[in-house]
Amino acid sequence: MDKKTGAIAFRFTDQQVNHVAQIWSVGWDEQQSSLYNWSGTERKDQEKYIFQYTLSGHGEINIDGKIHQVKAGHAFIVSSPSNYHYYLPKDSEKWEFIYLTLYGNEAKRCWSFVKNSGNQFVRFHPESTPIKLVKKIYDDAKEKKITNAYEGSSIAYNFIMELYVYLSNSDKLMEDWSEGVISAALFARNYYQDEIGAEEMADASQLSKYHFTRTFKKETGITPIQYLTNIRLQKSIELLQHTKYTVDEIAQLVGYKNANYLNKVTRKLMGKSPGEIRQGK
């Protein structure tokens, strides 16, 4: 797969909104060297709050002397500076993750809630709103859609509120998906634009294709291809309704070869053509 990793930093100067909640940075990274490590006691950035979610592989984080293995589907939330240390352990070939760094009074207030409730290390469902939102923030930042402090503050505040909701209800919302299924689901969500299918999802799960297909359907209720198709369909609808891309361009942006293929999918699953979806029928 073509890597889509990168990092975007924001340095807005409008203190009127920055003190409420603001984005400091967002990124998608993959580390393969054991030299990778960050110490919370040595970081120079003050009063920053980091949310980091593993997409594949695994890393480790030591929080106040307790070591956690950060596998796919797991996230940690830390403040900088504080007593933590995260790194790529020697037994891990890679650590792929997405992260968001925030600051401001509401971010600080949320951090206090996280710390007091013991939620610095949490498992997040791939379908959860915070995970979908952090990926959208990254995509919007890459496309330079976040252009001023007010937009950045609104996005940061929205993420904080969704984090509150998820952490307050995580026991009720969390479905028991296995690590392999979570890895495959995250792979589909992050690479749906490419020519991938059930075989590539099985590779991401590190299970045999037969065992993966059976396990995926048992745990999610649908097949891997249905899951991938749903992601592509949702993105197609979003692009049809909110952009001026041609249907052929949209088809290629969501992983289909051409407009004819996208037309077959939308008619089969929605009973409408891409043009009818665009017109709001």
Q: Which helix (H) or strand (E) holds 11?
A: none
Place of tokens 């500076």: 81
Averaged pLDDT for residues 273-281: 88
The region of weakest confidence among 1-5, 174-178, 207-211 is 1-5
Residue 58: per-residue pLDDT: 96
What confidence category does residue 75 fall into, taking pLDDT thresholds of 50, 70 and 90? very high
Q: Say how far apart CA 77 and CA 101 lie, in whole Å.
A: 10
Q: Among 190, 178, 183, 186, which residue's Cα sits nearest to residue 215?
A: 178
- CATH for the stretch 179-279: 1.10.10.60
Mean pLDDT of the chain, nearest integer: 92
Averaged pLDDT for residues 66-78: 95
CATH match of 6-169 with 3.40.50.880: no
Same fold, 6-169 and 179-279: no
Task: Map out the domains of the chain as residue ranges.
Answer: 6-169, 179-279
Q: Three-state SS for 222? A: coil
CB 226 within 8 Å of CB 187: no
Q: Which residues are within 8 A (CB) of 84 and not within 5 positions of it... i.e. 6 or more apart?
A: 39, 40, 61, 62, 63, 64, 76, 78
**Helix axes of 224-242 and 198-205: crossing angle, nearest 10 degrees:** 110
What confidence category does residue 3 fall into, taking pLDDT thresholds of 50, 70 and 90? low
CB 194 within 8 Å of CB 1: yes
As a three-state string, the secondary structure of 136-153 is HHHHHHHCCCCCCHHHHH
Residue 135: per-residue pLDDT: 94
Q: What is the DSSP letter of 206?
A: T
Q: Three-state SS for 57? A: strand
Residue 2: per-residue pLDDT: 52
Q: What is the DSSP letter of 265?
A: H
Residue 42: per-residue pLDDT: 87
Q: Say how far apart CA 204 and CA 201 lie, in whole Å.
A: 5
